[in-house]
Amino acid sequence: DAGVIQSPRHEVTEMGQEVTLRCKPISGHNSLFWYRQTMMRGLELLIYFNNNVPIDDSGMPEDRFSAKMPNASFSTLKIQPSEPRDSAVYFCASSPGLSGDTQYFGPGTRLTVL
Amino acid sequence: GEDVEQSLFLSVREGDSSVINCTYTDSSSTYLYWYKQEPGAGLQLLTYIFSNMDMKQDQRLTVLLNKKDKHLSLRIADTQTGDSAIYFCAGDDYGSGNTGKLIFGQGTTLQVKP
């Protein structure tokens, strides 16, 4: 298996633009997680899905952030409009979703908002 | 909910042992994990321990779990420059059911000096 795939790997955009980050989880995994990592705040869980259903989005910073999982093999995280403080590395992770199962992380998308 | 805390930085000399510590608040976690993040990469599972174990050894890695004190540690023997990375401890979130959700600490940056 190719592992968790994220695209793009790097994104540079200007303040006010819409940004869409994409994730393909490992086939057969039931849970998908979106994280944000910054020097100041460390690793933060933004939202996670189980069987394509959002379970907990309490980590989403504000209404500018939204996430979807239309099917078991694809998820998006959208920021509209983007702001410089959104600059971070965004990770997607997937898990089989059973007790004791680990999470498998993608390589991350480094977002820079100018 | 679960809270996981780690010291932020550790510096050792090549060949020495490294000990990275972690404390957690919720003793209902079934599994506790150590992840490693190398520069520019996602988190990767290093090792884990089942909550009814006190110790687990895997080559140069030794995990110690003190459930009474809610303390987890990772010892790396004969530390090499390639071990320089950020190390995260994590516990499964028992309260979230079978979703694979984990609670991560802030991460400890291990610097290995030659």
Instruction: Select from B30, B41, B104 the Cβ nearest to the Cβ of A43.
Output: B104
The pLDDT of residue B51 = 87
Average pLDDT over residues A90-107: 86
Number of helices (H) and strands (E) in chain A: give both, helices first: 0, 11
pLDDT class of B3 with cuts at 50, 70, 90: confident
What is the token pair recorded at A33? Answer: 């997680």
Please say whether the dihedral angle defined by the alpha carbons of residues A82, A79, A106 and B102, taken in this order, is positive or negative: positive
**Separation in Å, CA B59 to CA B47, B63, B77:** 11, 11, 9
Alpha carbons B66 and B102: distance in angstroms, whole number: 19
Contact A50 B104 (CB under 8 A): no
Backbone φ and ψ for B43, nearest 5 degrees, come out as: -75, 145
Residue A69 predicted with pLDDT over 90: yes
The pLDDT of residue A25 = 97
The pLDDT of residue B97 = 67
Q: What residues in A contact B109, CB-CB < 8 Å? A: none
pLDDT class of A40 with cuts at 50, 70, 90: confident
Q: Mean pLDDT over all residues of chain A? A: 93
Residue B34 predicted with pLDDT over 70: yes
Alpha carbons B59 and B30: distance in angstroms, whole number: 23
